[in-house]
């Protein structure tokens, strides 16, 4: 219950509204998307704690998705999902939000809650990417080690 209240406050905040406006601009520029991914991964690298592993895993998936989209490898992403992911990442990298990141321990609570909300709201699109990623990895492994052919004659 408290988490849904926090999410409601975040989604209606001026900080998230600004991130949403910026998301459209970022989503149209591959270079900006790559930089956003780099910034998000750099910021997440400084996080530690028992419950951070799941957050990092989720963040890793969305950053790989954005990288694949920006590089043109994966384009089966609805525009709404793309801009939502970008808005969440923009909110995450901004140190000034509902709960400023400079506050020890609690400063990242809103960021973590927002990434969790993203996964519950856009889960089917993120899962489709995971499946595509797995299929791509499997086909790359198969192509890297083609079966040996035997010459007869």
CA distance 16 to 88: 8
Q: What is the pTM of this model?
A: 0.83
Confidence of residue 45 (pLDDT cuts 50, 70, 90): confident
Residue recorded with tokens 């694949």? 68
pLDDT digits over 95-143, tens only?
888 888 878 678 888 988 998 899 999 999 999 999 999 998 888 766 6
CA contacts within 13 A on the Cβ side of 80: 5
CA distance 75 to 91: 23
C-alpha dihedral (119, 42, 6, 33), degrees to nearest 10? -60
- Token code pair at residue 146: 């083609």
């Amino acid at each position: 219950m408290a988490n849904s209240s926090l999410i409601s406050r975040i989604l209606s905040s001026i900080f998230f509204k600004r991130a949403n406006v910026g998301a459209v601009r970022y989503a149209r520029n591959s270079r900006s998307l790559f930089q956003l991914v780099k910034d998000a991964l750099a910021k997440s690298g400084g996080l530690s704690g028992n419950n951070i592993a799941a957050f990092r895993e989720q963040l890793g998936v969305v950053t790989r998705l954005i990288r694949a989209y920006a590089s043109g490898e994966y384009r089966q992403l609805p525009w709404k999902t793309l801009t939502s992911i970008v808005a969440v990442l923009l909110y995450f990298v901004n140190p000034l939000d509902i709960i400023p990141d400079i506050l020890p321990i609690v400063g990242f609570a809103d960021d973590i809650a927002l990434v969790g909300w993203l996964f519950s709201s856009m889960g089917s699109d993120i899962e489709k990417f995971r499946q595509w990623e797995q299929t791509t990895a499997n086909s790359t492994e198969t192509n890297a080690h083609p079966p040996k052919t035997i010459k007869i004659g």
